[in-house]
Amino acid sequence: MKEVAYWELHVYAIAFQSAMHIYNISKQWPQEENDSLTAPLRQASRQVCTRMAAAWNGRHDTTRFIAGLHESASYAATVRVWLNFAAECGYLAENDREQLQVNYDDIDRMLTKMILDVEMKA
The single-letter code of the amino acid at 35 is D
Instruction: Name the phi and psi angles at 49, rounded to 5.
Output: -70, -45
Whether residue 53 contacts residue 12, with contact meaning beta carbons closer than 8 Å, is answered with yes
- Nearest Cα residue to 10 out of 109, 87, 81: 109
Task: Please report, for residues 41, 68, 82, the alpha-carbon distance to residue 79 in angstroms, rounded to integers and kept in the order given.
Answer: 6, 17, 5
pLDDT in tens, the chain (122 residues): 678 999 999 999 999 999 999 999 999 999 999 999 999 999 999 999 999 999 999 999 999 999 999 999 999 999 999 999 999 999 999 999 999 999 999 999 999 999 999 999 87
- Nearest Cα residue to 96 out of 106, 84, 112, 113: 84
Rounded Cα distance between 122 and 109, Å, is: 20
Give, to the nearest 10 degrees, the angle between helix 39-57 and helix 94-121.
20
The single-letter code of the amino acid at 1 is M
Q: What is the pTM of this model?
A: 0.95
- What does the domain layout of the chain look like in residue ranges? 6-121
CATH number of 6-121: 1.20.1440.60
